[in-house]
Chains A and B, each alone.
Chain A
Amino acid sequence: MNGTTTIAQFRDVILDPAKRRHYQLAWLSTVDHKRIAVLYMLTGLVFFVVGGVEALLMRLQLAIPNNHFLAPDTFNQLFTMHGTTMIFLVVMPVVFGFANYVLPLQIGARDMAFPRLNAFGFWCVPLGGILLHFSVLAGGAPAVGWFSYAPLSETPYSSSPGVDYWAVAIFVLGIGSLSFAINTIATVISLRGPGMTMRRLPLFTWMNFINAFIIILALPVLNGALAMILIDRQLHGHFFLPIGGGSPVLWQHIFWAFGHPEVYILALPAFAMVSEIIPVFSRKPIFGYEFVAASSVAIAVLSLGVWGHHMFTVGMGRPLDMFFAISSMLIAIPTGVKVLNWTATMIGGRIRFQVPMLFCVAFLVQFLLAGITGISHAVVPLDWQTKNSYFLVAHFHFVAVGGIVFAVLGGLQYWFPKMSGRMLSERLGKWTFWLMVIGFNMTFLIQHVLGLLGMPRRIYTYPDLPHWGWMNMLSTIGVFFMGASALILVWNLATSFFRGKIAGDNPWEAWTLEWATTSPPPHENFVALPPIRSRRPLWDIANPDRPDPIVGENSAAVTLPNHNKIGILSFIVSEAGFFATLILAYLYFYARPQPGPNARGLDIPRTLVFSVCLFASSFTFWRSEVGLMKQRRGSMLGWLALTILLGGIFLVGQGTEYWKLFQSGVDLSTNMFSTTFFTLTGFHGLHVLMALIALLIFLWMAWEGDLVSSRFGSAFESAGYFWHFVDVVWVFVLLTVYILPLLR
Chain B
Amino acid sequence: MSTYQFFTTTWAWNSAVLVISAVALVGYVLAFGRRGRPLYFAGAVVVFLLAFISPFSALANGYLFSAHMVQHILLVLIVPALFLLSLPQSFSLRSSLSYFSHPLIGWVAGVGAMWLWHAPALCNAAATSRTVSAIQTTTLLLMGSVFWWQVLAPREEQRLSPLAGILYLFTACTACSVLGIILTFAPVSICPVYQHPVDRLGMLSTIRGDWGLTSDRDQQIGGLLMWVPMCAIYATAILVQLARWHSSPQPEQSNA
Q: Which of A199, A298, A326 contacts B246 (CB 8 A)?
A: A199
> What residues of chain B lie closer than 8 Å to A604, measured between beta carbons?
none
**Contacting residues, chain A, for B182 (C-beta < 8 A):** 584, 587
**B228 contact from A294, A305, A552, Cβ within 8 A:** A305
- Tell which of A290, A294, A323, A330 touches B227, judged by Cβ atoms closer than 8 Å: A323
A431 to B227, CA, bound (A): 49
Contact A553 B163 (CB under 8 A): no
Please, what's the 1-or-0 string for A605-629, where 1 marks a CB less than 8 Å from any CB in chain B? 0000000000000000000000000
Tell me whether A699 is interfacial, beta carbon within 8 Å.
Answer: no
Say which one of B39-47, B54-62, B170-178 lies at the interface with A.
B170-178
How many residues of A sit at the interface, in one of the four size bands?
20 to 34
Minimal beta-carbon separation of A242 from chain B (angstroms): 15
Q: Which residues of A contact B170 (CB under 8 A)?
A: 301
Q: Is A198 an interface residue (CB 8 A)?
A: yes
Evaluate whether A198 and B220 lie within 8 angstroms (CB atoms) in the complex, with A290-B246, A584-B178 already known: no
Which residues of chain B from 144 to 199 have a CB within 8 Å of any chain A CB? 163, 166, 170, 173, 177-178, 181-182, 184-188
Q: When chains A and B are docked, how far (Å) is the Cα of A326 from the Cα of B220? A: 16
- Roughly how many angstroms separate A249 CA and B187 CA in the complex, as a whole number? 14
CB-based contact B246/A305 at 8 Å: no
- Which chain A residues border B251 with CB–CB below 8 Å? 553
Instruction: Give the residues in chain A near B239, CB-CB below 8 Å.
Output: 294, 297-298
Given A553-B251, A584-B181, A592-B187, does the pair A320, B224 have CB atoms closer than 8 Å?
A: yes
Give complex CA distance A305, B245 in Å. Answer: 25
Contact (Cβ within 8 A) A552 B249: yes
A243 within 8 A of B: no
In the bound assembly, the distance between CA atoms of A290 and B245 in angstroms comes to: 10
Give chain A nearest CB distance to B202 CB in angstroms: 25
A591 touches B186 (CB 8 A): yes
Considering the complex, give the chain A residue whose CB is closest to the CB of B246. Answer: A290
Please give the distance in Å from A736's CB to the nearest CB on chain B.
Answer: 11
Task: Let me know if A318 is at the binding interface, CB within 8 A.
Answer: yes
The answer to whether B243 and A553 have CB atoms under 8 Å apart is no
Contact of A326 among B228, B235, B238, B242 (CB under 8 A): B228
Asked if A641 is an interface residue, CB under 8 A from chain B, the answer is no
Assuming A305-B177, A591-B186, is B227 touching A198 (CB within 8 A)? no
Task: Tell whether, in the assembled complex, residue A553 and residue B249 are in contact, meaning their CB atoms are under 8 Å apart.
Answer: yes
B233 CB, min distance to chain A CBs, angstroms: 12
Q: How far is the CA of A290 from the CA of B246 in the complex (A)?
A: 7
Which residues of the partner chain B approach A318 to less than 8 Å between Cβ atoms?
A: 217
A320 vs B221: C-alpha distance when bound (angstroms): 8
Contacts of A290 in B (CB 8 A): 242-243, 246
Q: Which of B173, B187, B235, B246 contacts A591 (CB 8 A)?
A: B187
CB proximity of A82 to chain B, nearest CB, Å = 32
Which residues of B sit under 8 angstroms from A302, Cβ to Cβ?
235
CA distance A407 to B163 in the complex (A): 30
Q: Does A588 contact B (CB under 8 A)?
A: yes
Contact with A along B81-111 (1 / 0, CB 8 A): 0000000000000000000000000000000
Given A553-B251, A584-B178, A317 and B220 touching (CB < 8 A)? yes
A334, closest chain B residue (CB): B239
Q: Does A293 contact B (CB under 8 A)?
A: yes
Residues B186 and A198 in contact, CB atoms below 8 Å apart: no
B250 neighbours in A (Cβ, 8 Å): 553
**Total number of residue pairs linking A and B with CB closer than 8 Å:** 60
Chain A neighbourhood of B22, CB < 8 A: none
Contacts of B221 in A (CB 8 A): 319
Asked whether B184 lies within 8 Å of A327 as measured between CB atoms, the reply is no
Chain A, interface SS category: helix
Cβ-based interface call for B232 (8 A):
yes
CB-based nearest A residue for B242: A294
- Measured in the bound complex, the distance between the Cα atoms of B187 and A327 in whole Å is 23
Q: A330–B235 Cα gap in the complex (Å)? A: 11
The verdict on A580 contacting chain B, using a C-beta distance below 8 Å, is yes
CB distance from B152 to the nearest CB of A (A): 19
Complex-state Cα separation, A305 to B187, whole angstroms = 21
Q: Are B187 and A301 in contact (CB under 8 A)?
A: no
B163 CB contacts on chain A under 8 angstroms: 198
B146–chain A nearest beta-carbon distance, Å: 23
Q: Is B51 an interface residue (CB 8 A)?
A: no
Contact A305 B224 (CB under 8 A): no
Q: Please, which residues of chain B bring their CB within 8 A of the CB of A588?
A: 185
Chain B: minimal CB distance from A203 (Å): 13
Inter-chain CA distance A553–B250, complex, in Å, is: 6
Minimum distance in angstroms from A495 CB to a CB of chain B: 45
Question: When each residue 220-256 of chain B gets 1 if its CB lies under 8 Å from chain A and 0 otherwise, what string results?
Answer: 1100100110011001001100110110011100000
Contacts of A580 in B (CB 8 A): 178
Residues of A within 8 A of B177 (CB): 305
The answer for the CA separation of A587 and B181 in the assembled complex, in Å, is: 11
- CA of A305 to CA of B184, assembled, Å: 13
What are the residues of chain B within 8 A of A297 when measuring CB–CB?
166, 238-239, 242
A297 to B231, CA, bound (A): 14
A317 touches B246 (CB 8 A): no
Nearest CB in chain B: distance from A676 CB, A:
15
A611 to nearest B CB, angstroms?
Answer: 22
Contacts of B185 in A (CB 8 A): 588
Q: Smallest CB–CB gap between B150 and chain A, Å?
A: 18
**CB pair B228 A301 closer than 8 Å:** no
Assuming the A-B contacts A301-B170, A584-B182, A591-B187, are A320 and B228 also in contact, with contact meaning beta carbons closer than 8 angstroms in the complex? no
Measured CA separation A330–B251 after assembly (Å): 31
Report chain A residues within 8 Å CB of B187. 591-592
Rounded to whole Å, the gap between the CB of B253 and the closest CB of chain A is 10
The listed residue (B166, B227, B243) touching A305 by CB distance below 8 A is B227
Tell me, rounded to whole Å, the shortest Cβ–Cβ distance linking A487 to chain B. 44
Docked Cα-Cα span, A320 to B181, in Å, equals 11
A591 CA to B239 CA in the complex, in Å? 37
Whole-angstrom CA separation of A302 from B233 in the bound complex: 12
Residues 125-139 of chain A, each 1 if its beta carbon lies under 8 Å from chain B, else 0:
000000000000000
Residue of B whose beta carbon sits closest to that of A573: B171
Q: Nearest chain-A residue to B248 (Cβ)?
A: A552
Cα–Cα, bound, A298→B184 (Å): 24
Chain B residues, CB < 8 A from A198: 163
Within 8 A of B (CB), among A546-603: 552-553, 580, 584, 587-588, 591-592
Given contacts A293-B242, A301-B173, A591-B186, whether A323 and B249 have CB atoms under 8 Å apart is: no
Q: Are B220 and A319 interface neighbours, CB within 8 A? A: yes
Interface pair B238/A301, CB less than 8 Å apart: yes
Contacts A320-B224, A327-B228 known; 11 new A-B pairs at CB < 8 A: A199-B246, A294-B242, A297-B242, A301-B173, A301-B238, A302-B235, A305-B227, A305-B231, A323-B228, A553-B250, A591-B188
> Can you identify 17 A-B contacts, CB atoms within 8 angstroms?
A290-B242, A293-B246, A294-B239, A294-B242, A294-B246, A297-B166, A298-B238, A301-B173, A301-B238, A305-B177, A319-B224, A323-B227, A326-B228, A330-B232, A584-B182, A588-B185, A591-B187
Query: Which 3 pairs from chain A and chain B are nearest by CB?
Result: A323-B224, A294-B242, A290-B246
Which B residues are within 8 Å of any A CB, using their own CB?
163, 166, 170, 173, 177-178, 181-182, 184-188, 217, 220-221, 224, 227-228, 231-232, 235, 238-239, 242-243, 245-246, 249-251
